[in-house]
Amino acid sequence: MRRWLRYVGVPPGSDLFDDVVKVGVELMTNSVCHAQCSRDVLISLTIEGYVLTIEAEDGDPRPLCTDDVPAWHGLGRMSAVARAHSGDLRAVVDAEAGAKTVRVRLCVPGFL
- Residue 92 belongs to some domain of the structure: yes
Residues 6+ apart with CB under 8 A from 75: 30, 64, 66, 69, 89
Residue 88 in any domain: the answer is: yes
* Tens digits of pLDDT across the chain (112 residues): 999 999 999 999 999 999 999 999 999 888 887 777 667 888 999 999 999 999 999 887 777 765 565 655 678 889 999 999 999 999 888 888 888 899 999 998 776 5
Residue 67 domain flag? yes
* Number of domains the chain contains: 1
Structure pTM?
0.85
Residue 112 lies in a domain: no
Q: Which domain holds residue 75?
A: 2-107
Q: Please report whether residue 54 resides in a domain.
A: yes
Is residue 86 included in any domain, yes or no?
Answer: yes
Q: Cα dihedral angle (106, 33, 63, 93), rounded to 10 degrees?
A: 60
Q: Is residue 28 part of a domain?
A: yes
CATH number, residue 47: 3.30.565.10
| Radius of gyration, alpha carbons of the chain | 14
